[in-house]
């Protein structure tokens, strides 16, 4: 019987137990869906639990404890259970033998994917994140989209997809016309700089808000640009390039990567044909002078406004470019999925775009999955969208340099840094700072609003990025001292009471990864990484490693350390956080 379960592909212990339970449930003609085994919420009582007896009891009209006993009778002969018993109203509590745990661990050590399955090759996923606007200085509000999007991209890569990150700049709407018309009013002639743009744009934007005639100028300029006016296009290209240089500086500092630097303008060549096509198919219709795609359905509870393709003045809108961008992406990547990492407040907009894409056949349901992975708003301590005292929003550069400064001074106090040269110190300070900022943001649930707290973002103690780095660095130091080279192979794996909980935790990775992938939530990886770091730190404090006399135990512990380090490295890699050699 035992051999039967040995062939199961590498996965988490909970998954393996679930498969065993499913067989037992099936044999008893109970619903298999109830068989799921999870890590026990009661660590003292058991390692794992299965709650399926209770809901099954209702269907079978039997006492839940009796059902639980039937299930246990089905599986108890399998030699992997140290203990399997009923708790409370019908929980099935499971504790595994150390032999089985170590067997699992040995196979885990040999698996470069840590039990994470790989999807079939050749599937492209486009991720749309960052979304900075031209001519605007990047502020802390850009943090979430960039960091979450980049992390999701890294997760997709690790899952085996061909993930393509696109920055999708805001380079085509009416702000462009505002800037162009402003430059014209200034009779501008010379080199454009980022500082200048950052000054011009808000000025022009305000002027347009207050003055209708000024707005008309901007509209005309937008129109001219979108119709391919040569001199406007040249000028536009110029300040786009200047802006990109500024963006790259910020993204580089953050360690956020993009495979493509496209923008809304890249969808422009597709708009005309798209509009014609939708009009001819009667999917787009005229309404109140504008061209719209109705997307409301009878089953809707709420009123769903149509997606507007053309304004009454003929100009294109945000939704138009978003729809055309899908066509552009289909042509360049033929993706099976597009993930938009954009503010949650735009949920309705994406609902409209997605529906229009379905209805028009641009993105058939069975061909392209469209996901809006929205994120919550970054609020100030007053619960309102974050603003500094001056009324503006803190610049991204400012946040980063504050964090670096703090890391630098923390490093200067440290004994260890005395023999670091200046370059190493700078590099370590940068890595620590970025780890702090990114982890502080990523550990929040993606879809929930959260409060921007500068102290929290630049904190290095407790549940922070630097804490994770610190644990990883400690292991590196340990492995160096043990002269470990390459992968540790441990034939006689030994665990004691002090090692068991770390060993069990290491088997959970596939579950957390799967969950994070399913919901597009990096914070689940943060949680697991932190738990792992904490568990390791406890293990490190309680167990001898290098000084362990029992050679087999010492080797086992070193293997645990190495595995912990590998998993931490992977988690941090997927979160976009780099580990220094020491700190």
- Would you count residue 547 as binding RNA (CB under 7 A)? yes
Q: Does residue number 473 form part of the binding site for RNA (CB under 7 A)?
A: yes
CB of 245 to RNA, least distance (A): 20
Judged by CB under 7 A, does residue 39 bind RNA? Answer: yes
- What is the x/- site pattern for RNA, positions 413-442, by CB under 7 A? -x-x-----------x---x----------
Q: List the interface residues with RNA, window 69-108 (CB under 7 A).
A: 87-89, 91, 93
- DSSP-assigned states of every residue in 424-474: HHHHHHHHHHHHHHHHHHHTS-TTS-EE--HHHHT--SSSSHHHHHHHHHH
| 494 Cβ contact list (under 8 Å, min separation 6) | 102, 550, 552, 553, 556
Residue-wise over 474-508: b if at least 16 C-beta within 10 A, else e? bbbebbeebeeeeebebeebbbeeebbebbbbbbb
Give yes or no for residue 305 binding RNA (CB under 7 A).
yes
Is residue 385 near RNA by the rule CB under 7 A? yes
Question: In this structure, are residues 506 and 108 in contact, taking their beta carbons and an 8 Å threshold?
Answer: yes
Is residue 36 close enough to count as binding RNA by CB under 7 A? yes
Measured from the CB atom, the residue of 345 and 367 that comes closer to RNA is 345
546 binds RNA (CB under 7 A): yes
Considering the rule CB under 7 A, would residue 401 count as an interface residue with RNA?
Answer: no
CB of 334 to RNA, least distance (A): 25
Q: Specify burial of residue 363 (Cβ count, 10 A radius: 0-12, 13-18, 19+).
A: buried
**Is residue 174 near RNA by the rule CB under 7 A?**
yes
Q: Which of residues 251-280 bind RNA (CB under 7 A)?
A: 264
**Contact between 582 and RNA per CB under 7 A:** yes
The enclosing H or E element of 553 equals: helix 551-575
Separation CA 532–CA 516 (nearest Å) = 16
User: Does the footprint of RNA cover residue 158 (CB under 7 A)?
Assistant: no
**Options 398, 527, 573, 578; binder of RNA; rule CB under 7 A:** 527
Decide whether 163 or 399 has the Cβ nearer to RNA: 399
Neighbouring-strand partners of residue 124? 162
Closest distance of CB 138 from RNA, Å? 14
From candidates 2, 4, 276, 345, binder to RNA by CB under 7 A: 345
Among candidate residues 328, 322, 326, the one with its CA nearest the CA of residue 309: 322
User: How near is the Cβ of 49 to RNA at its closest, in Å?
Assistant: 4
Size of interface with RNA, in residues (CB under 7 A): 108
**Residue 228 within binding range of RNA, rule CB under 7 A:** no
Work out how close the CB of 417 gets to RNA at its nearest, in angstroms, rounded to a whole number.
Answer: 7
Cβ closer to RNA: 25 or 163? 25
Part of the chain binding RNA (CB under 7 A), chosen from 34-42, 71-79, 272-280, 333-341: 34-42
188-225: burial string, b at 16+ Cβ within 10 Å, e else: eeeebebebbbebbeebbebbeeeeebbebbbebbbbb
In this structure, what are the phi and psi dihedrals at residue 566, rounded to the nearest 5 degrees? -60, -45
Interface with RNA, residue 59, by CB under 7 A: no
Name beta bridge partners: 96. Answer: 81
């Amino acid at each position: 019987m035992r051999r039967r379960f040995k062939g199961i592909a590498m996965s988490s212990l909970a998954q393996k137990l679930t498969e065993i339970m499913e067989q037992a449930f099936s044999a008893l003609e109970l619903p298999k869906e109830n068989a799921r085994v999870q890590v026990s919420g009661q660590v003292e009582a058991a390692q794992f639990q299965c709650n399926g007896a209770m809901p099954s009891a209702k269907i079978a009209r039997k006492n839940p404890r009796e059902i639980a006993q039937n299930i246990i009778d089905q599986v108890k002969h399998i030699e992997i259970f140290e203990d399997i018993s009923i708790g409370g109203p019908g929980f099935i509590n499971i504790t595994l033998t150390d032999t089985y745990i170590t067997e699992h661990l040995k196979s885990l050590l040999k698996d470069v994917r840590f039990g994470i399955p790989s999807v079939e090759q050749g599937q492209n996923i486009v991720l749309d994140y960052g979304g900075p606007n031209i001519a605007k200085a990047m502020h802390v509000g850009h943090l979430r989209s960039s960091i979450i999007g980049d992390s999701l991209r890294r997760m997709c890569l690790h899952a085996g997809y061909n993930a393509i990150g696109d920055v999708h700049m805001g380079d085509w709407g009416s702000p462009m016309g505002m800037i162009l018309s402003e430059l014209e009013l200034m009779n501008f002639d010379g080199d454009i700089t980022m500082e200048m743009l950052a000054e011009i744009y808000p000025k022009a934007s305000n002027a347009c808000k207050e003055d209708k005639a000024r707005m008309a100028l901007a509209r005309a300029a937008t129109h001219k640009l979108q119709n391919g006016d040569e001199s406007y296009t040249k000028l536009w290209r110029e300040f786009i390039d200047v802006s990109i240089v500024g963006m790259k500086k910020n993204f580089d500092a953050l360690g956020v990567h993009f495979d493509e630097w496209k923008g809304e303008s890249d969808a422009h060549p597709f708009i005309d044909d798209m509009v014609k096509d939708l009009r001819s198919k009667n999917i787009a219709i005229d309404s109140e002078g504008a061209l719209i795609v109705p997307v409301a359905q009878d089953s809707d509870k709420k009123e769903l406004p149509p997606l507007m393709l053309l304004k009454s003045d003929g100009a294109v809108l945000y939704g138009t470019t978003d729809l055309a961008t899908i066509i552009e992406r289909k042509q360049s990547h033929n993706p099976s999925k597009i993930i938009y990492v954009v503010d949650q407040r735009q949920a309705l907009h994406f609902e409209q775009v997605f529906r229009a894409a379905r209805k028009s056949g641009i993105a058939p349901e069975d061909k392209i999955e469209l996901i809006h992975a929205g994120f919550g708003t970054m609020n100030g301590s007053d619960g309102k969208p974050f603003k500094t005292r001056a009324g503006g929003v803190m610049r991204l550069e400012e946040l980063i340099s504050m964090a670096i400064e703090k890391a630098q001074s923390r490093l200067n106090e440290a004994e260890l840094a005395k023999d670091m040269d200046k370059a190493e110190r700078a590099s370590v300070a940068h890595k620590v700072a970025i780890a702090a900022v990114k982890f502080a943001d990523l550990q929040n649930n993606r879809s929930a609003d959260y409060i921007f707290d500068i102290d929290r973002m630049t904190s290095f103690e407790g549940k922070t990025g630097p804490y994770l780095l610190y644990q990883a660095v400690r292991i590196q130091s340990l492995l160096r001292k043990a002269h470990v080279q390459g992968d540790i192979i441990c034939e006689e794996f030994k665990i004691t009471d002090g090692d068991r909980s770390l060993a069990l935790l290491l088997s959970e990775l596939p579950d957390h990864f799967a969950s994070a992938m399913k919901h597009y939530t990096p914070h689940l990886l943060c949680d697991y990484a932190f738990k792992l770091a904490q568990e390791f730190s406890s293990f490190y404090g309680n167990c001898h490693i290098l000084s362990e006399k029992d050679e087999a135990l010492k080797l086992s512990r070193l293997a645990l350390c190495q595995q912990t380090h590998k998993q931490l490295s992977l988690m941090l890699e997927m979160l976009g956080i780099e580990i220094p050699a020491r700190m």
